[in-house]
């Protein structure tokens, strides 16, 4: 059990991180997650608190992002004219939206508040559900992401003397931002489990991509075939993540908890259910205490069934962080609220859900796991067999 856990809320005063009503990244998914956490009584658990986020400063953003890029984000959000396409903005994934810098700086700042909490000892675990924007690059927006808050939090920790950080990314899309930013840094272990880049954006994250220079072996990519279900995904997760994190012995565990791996997600083709999230949460919690001294900084990430899946997934992770059992039946007040927000009565009433038939029999997953072990385990003194 953890003595203190914090939920970092971006704040009602923050401009919305909102790409527009037709965009799949709906800000309501974060609001509904917070409301479900409250409705389940998790904030009433001893030692659990909700704390306010803050804006990341320009100097803090410059730990990862080029000042010219930050300036472009600010000016584009003010509707100034400019060649914003040079920075990754335009119709499609990354449209310019009002107050874009201010909204993005608050998301990034909330992850820094989480980093401050675990580094100072104010909390053992901290969760920023608005974070996890892992596609943003130092000078370019990508994949709905403006500022790369996981990479920023990790860099902030390193700048304050943390010697090793392990980053585990379970989003359906490759965690290409942290992978690229820390590819040559032996202080950061990045592990990304994702749908094979040959079948999904951003088209990267293959087994042979294992870091560069002094960082070779510290970038770990586990590309899984479409329609991998709970059993195959959990096999890959449990055979790769715990041994590597334990061998790396990080001072802080950082996770990106994207739930677009769910079988109902409209943007990808993995076949997970909430049962996989429950098990992954338990494994990560054990790793936080067993390998990282209890220090666990978690962020949200992808997830585009914003009323039906995301709140249940992230509340499951937060319940594990606080060590609380929640009833399987979702609170009726929250179900009504989610249905009203979604304009539909097709909102689940339970955390659990029926198993789904996966499209992969496990053979392809087993091959990927063998390839990953052969590629990187030796760098960490682990046997590949």
- C-alpha 154/C-alpha 291 separation (Å) is 17
Are the C-beta atoms of 127 and 298 separated by less than 8 Å? yes
**Structure-token pair, residue 246:** 């334990």
Distance of alpha carbon 147 from alpha carbon 150, whole angstroms = 9
Tokens coding 312: 């249940």
DSSP conformation class of 371:
H
d(CA 36, CA 74): 33
- Nearest 10 degrees: Cα torsion 130, 269, 179, 124: 40
Tokens 């990754």 locate to 88
Q: How far is CA 143 from CA 19, 88, 173, 197, 315, in A?
A: 12, 9, 9, 14, 24
Name beta bridge partners: 128.
299
State the catalytic residue, choosing from 19, 125, 134, 135. Answer: 135
Q: Which two tokens stand for residue 323?
A: 């060590």
Q: Give dist(CA 371, CA 189) in Å, integer.
A: 18
Q: Please check whether residue 253 is in contact with residue 296, taking contact to mean a CB–CB distance below 8 angstroms.
A: yes
Q: How far is CA 104 from the centre of its chain?
A: 15
| Residue whose tokens read 């709905």 | 144
C-alpha closest to that of 91 among 26, 18, 23, 16? 23
How far is it, in rounded angstroms, from Cα 210 to Cα 180?
A: 10
For residue 99, indicate whether it is catalytic. no
Distance CA 300, CA 308 (A): 16
> Which of the residues are catalytic?
135
């Amino acid at each position: 059990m953890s003595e203190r856990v914090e939920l970092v809320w971006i704040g009602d005063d923050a401009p919305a991180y909102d790409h527009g009503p037709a965009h799949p990244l709906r800000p309501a998914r974060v609001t509904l997650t917070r409301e479900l956490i409250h409705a389940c009584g998790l904030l009433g658990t001893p030692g659990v608190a909700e704390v306010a986020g803050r804006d990341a400063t320009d100097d803090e953003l410059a730990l990862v992002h080029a000042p010219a890029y930050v300036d472009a984000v600010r000016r584009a959000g003010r509707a100034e004219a400019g060649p914003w396409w040079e920075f990754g903005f335009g119709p499609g994934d990354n449209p310019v939206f009002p107050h874009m810098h201010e909204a993005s700086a608050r998301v990034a700042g909330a992850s820094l508040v989480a980093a401050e909490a675990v580094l100072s000892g104010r909390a053992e675990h901290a969760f920023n559900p608005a974070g996890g924007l892992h596609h943003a690059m130092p000078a370019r927006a990508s994949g709905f992401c403006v500022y790369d808050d996981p990479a920023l939090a990790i860099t902030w920790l390193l700048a304050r003397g943390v010697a090793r950080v392990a980053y585990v990314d379970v989003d359906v899309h490759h965690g290409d931002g942290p992978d690229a930013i820390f590819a040559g840094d032996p202080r950061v272990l990045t592990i990304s489990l994702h749908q094979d880049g040959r079948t999904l954006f951003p088209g990267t994250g293959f087994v042979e991509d294992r870091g560069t220079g002094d960082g070779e072996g510290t970038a770990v990519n586990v590309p899984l075939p479409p329609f991998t279900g709970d059993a195959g995904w959990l096999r890959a997760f449990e055979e790769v993540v715990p041994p590597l994190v334990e061998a790396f012995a990080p001072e802080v565990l950082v996770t990106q908890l994207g739930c677009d791996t769910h079988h109902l997600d409209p943007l990808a083709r993995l076949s997970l259910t909430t049962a996989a999230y429950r098990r992954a949460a338990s494994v990560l919690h054990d790793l936080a205490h067993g390998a990282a001294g209890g220090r666990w900084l978690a962020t949200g990430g992808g997830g585009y069934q914003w009323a039906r899946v995301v709140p249940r997934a992230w509340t499951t992770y937060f319940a594990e962080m606080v060590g609380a059992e929640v009833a399987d039946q979702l609170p009726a007040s929250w179900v009504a609220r989610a249905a009203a927000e979604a304009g539909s009565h097709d909102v689940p009433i339970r955390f659990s859900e029926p198993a789904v038939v996966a499209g992969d029999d496990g053979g392809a997953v087993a091959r990927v796991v063998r390839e990953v072990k052969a590629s990187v385990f030796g760098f960490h003194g682990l046997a590949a067999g």
